[in-house]
Each structure stands twice: as C-alpha cells, then as structure tokens.
Amino acid sequence: MRQAKITRTTKETDITVQVMLDEKGTSNIHTGIGFFDHMLTALSLHSGISMDIQVKGDLYVDGHHTVEDTGIVLGKALSEALGDKSGIIRYGSAYIPMDEALAFCSLDISNRPFLVFQGTFKNAMIGEYDACLTEEFFRAFAFQAGITLHVHMMYGANDHHKCEAAFKAVAHALRTAVTPLKAGESRSTKGVL
C-alpha cells in the first residue's frame, strides 16, 4: 500500500502527517487555523488521498510557520508514499469552478520541483487564515513532493471561493497524476523520473 507518515519538529511547529494514497480521501486535520483545515480537507477528499494532519504551531506569532511547514511535511509524506514515482500517470490537470470563481491546475510529478502561482486576493484574511500564505503552502508542498505545479486562480470576486477552487483544482490534478500504471512502468523517455 502506498502510504507514509512523517513527523517534523522545530522551534516553531510540531507536525505529524500521514497519507494513504489508496484509500478514499478520508481526513482528520487539525492545524489550529479553521479555514486552512477546510482547504486541506477539500484537498484530501477531492484527491482521494486520505490524510491525517496534526499541527501545533506558533500561532501567537501568525499563521506563516504553521501553513508553510504543513506544506513541507505533506510534500515529504507524498513523496515518500510515491517511492521512486514509477508506475503512476504522472501528469494531471483540472479546472474547478466555485460559484463565480474559476481556478486551474496543471502538475507533473517529475522530481523537478517548481511553482508557478497566479492570482490575487482582495482581502488579507479569510477567517483566521492569511490569504497570502496560499502561495507559500503550494511552494513548500511542490518543492518537497518533487512536483512541477502550476496554479492559476483565473478570476472570482469572493476570496473564499477563489482559494477553495485552487485547492480543489490541485486535488483533482493530483488524483489523476498519482493513479497507478503497471508496476515498474515509468512515463519518462529517460526511463526514470
């Protein structure tokens, strides 16, 4: 079974993440930031990747360390669960509408980490979540997971809708990309990723 559990403790955060790629997208997520929990729950459900994410962060400072470090640990867990990344479709893309908002994601689980993030928020905060940390989360996640990740919040008026559409677009692209092929098969002209 493709799964991994990673614990990372620093002076700023204490995080444990477990992912199970072949489950049904069940989640148990507690980061201390309600809206971030909501986004991670959507990521789990729509990707089909079961996630247990437990975070204790220095929220008395702000949400930055909590959000970024969660991306780091989740990315490491996904990378470990995928092993050498052979035997998966590798690529995924998705458009997700949410009311007036539309987001697009295209990704490649390639061992060549990169992030292109396009989109802006009208407000600094969505609940207790710093909207600007959306890009920080995706950067940390992509670089630790070895993913080339393009996220485009194309348009929208409501920041909640825009952010949620982006997380769900990433989730649906991931769902396709981690789908198994025949054991040992690699989608690379090099033969390995």
Domain count, the chain: 1
Token pair of 67 as six digits: 């959000």
pLDDT band at 25 (very low <50, low <70, confident <90, very high): confident
Q: Please report whether residue 169 resides in a domain.
A: yes
The answer to whether the predicted template modeling score (pTM) of the entire model surpasses 0.85 is yes
Residue 188: its pLDDT value, please? 59
Q: Please report whether residue 131 resides in a domain.
A: yes
Residue 26: its pLDDT value, please? 95
pLDDT at 190 over 60: no
* Structural domain of 76: 3-177
Residue 64: its pLDDT value, please? 98
Q: Please report whether residue 42 resides in a domain.
A: yes
Residue 86: its pLDDT value, please? 87
Alpha carbons 182 and 166: distance in angstroms, whole number: 30
Alpha carbons 37 and 112: distance in angstroms, whole number: 28
